[in-house]
A = this chain, B = another copy of it.
Amino acid sequence: MVVQVKHDCKIELHKVALKATPARLATLKVLEAASKPLDVATIKSKLKKDGINADPATIFRMMNSFSDKGLVREINLQESKLRYEYSAKEDHHHLLCESCGSIEDISDCNIETWEKELREKKGFMIKHHSLEFFGLCKNCQKLI
């Protein structure tokens, strides 16, 4: 049985005016198959297994254009690097283990209830969380 590809990556790329190169198609498949957001080094090594040797600069450039076009989400997990996630996946938050680095998805949204539930249901011991809003202040909205 062949693994089912849910999205036609070639069409997706053309929709957003990006060329469907082998590296891009393979990268989208890698991200689609991933169970957690991937960093550039990981993407590179997964591509290598598919026989594609992509330069890190190329992967960074891909991630930037995919991110601009909305094909991937940039995920900042308070590390020194960014991770990337396939946009077609439902948006969600992440639960990180500071000890083993495991990353778990969570998808409802009530922060205080959450913390209790996460403790009770998943046994995850929360030490802290990060919540930041990004957007435009009153003043800057006028200027744009």
Q: Is the CB of B98 within 8 A of A132?
A: no
Report how far A129 CA is from B133 CA in the complex, Å: 4
Q: A133 contacts which chain B residues (CB < 8 A)?
A: 93-96, 106, 114-115, 118, 124, 126, 128-129
**Are B127 and A130 in contact, CB atoms less than 8 angstroms apart?**
no
What is the total number of residues of chain A having a CB less than 8 Å from a CB of chain B?
43
**Alpha-carbon distance between A5 and B118 when the two chains are bound, in angstroms:** 40
A124 touching B138 in the complex, CB below 8 Å, given contacts A130-B76, A130-B131, A131-B131? yes
A118 cross-chain contacts in B, Cβ below 8 A: 133
Q: Are A126 and B115 in contact (CB under 8 A)?
A: no
Residues 92-109 of A, flagged 1 when their CB comes within 8 A of B and 0 if not, give 011111111010101001
Q: Is A141 at the interface (CB under 8 A from chain B)?
A: yes
Contact A132–B135 (Cβ < 8 Å): no
7 contacting pairs across A/B (C-beta < 8 A)? A96-B134, A97-B137, A98-B136, A99-B136, A100-B140, A104-B137, A122-B137
Residues of A within 8 A of B (CB): 76-78, 93-100, 102, 104, 106, 109-112, 114-115, 118, 122-141, 143-144
Q: Other than the known A110-B110, A125-B141, A127-B135, what 7 A-B pairs have Cβ atoms closer than 8 Å?
A: A95-B133, A96-B132, A98-B136, A114-B133, A122-B137, A129-B132, A130-B134
